[in-house]
Amino acid sequence: AQSVAQPEDQVNVAEGNPLTVKCTYSVSGNPYLFWYVQYPNRGLQFLLKYITGDNLVKGSYGFEAEFNKSQTSFHLKKPSALVSDSALYFCAVRDTNAGKSTFGDGTTLTVKP
């Protein structure tokens, strides 16, 4: 079985400050990990993914995420937040042996000017 947890329903940061959105996962095999962003009334947009290799993954719009196998985490980060980053963020995991992905419940990021 595979699962993913986003422990924070909401994250608030000031514009220009660094941001972190947390994600932890559980899989029986090796994980494939993904981050998506959703703006109101829209579909999900892909930000970045970890498949294998370097633990630090860089993605779209200046976002990056760090894969930590010992802590089973894949936190999303950005050095300097923008107001336009305000949105709903989803972490997803897929076991190498699974036929489908599992999504977290989402974290609402609010960046205040």
Partner 1 sequence: DGGITQSPKYLFRKEGQNVTLSCEQNLNHDAMYWYRQDPGQGLRLIYYSQIVNDFQKGDIAEGYSVSREKKESFPLTVTSAQKNPTAFYLCASSETGGGNTIYFGEGSWLTVV
Output the smallest distance, CB 79 to partner 1, in A.
24
Other CB atoms within a 10 A radius of the CB of residue 92 amount to 21
Give the footprint of partner 1 on this chain (CB under 8 A).
32, 34, 36, 41-46, 49, 51, 90, 92, 94-101, 103-106
Strand 44-50 vs strand 87-95: parallel, antiparallel, or unpaired? unpaired
Output the smallest distance, CB 94 to partner 1, in A.
5
Q: Which is nearer to partner 1, 96 or 110 (CB)?
A: 96
Q: Which is nearer to partner 1, 15 or 44 (CB)?
A: 44
Q: Which is nearer to partner 1, 41 or 70 (CB)?
A: 41
d(CA 3, CA 24): 9
Residue with tokens 């190498």: 96
| Tokens standing for residue 27 | 């899989």
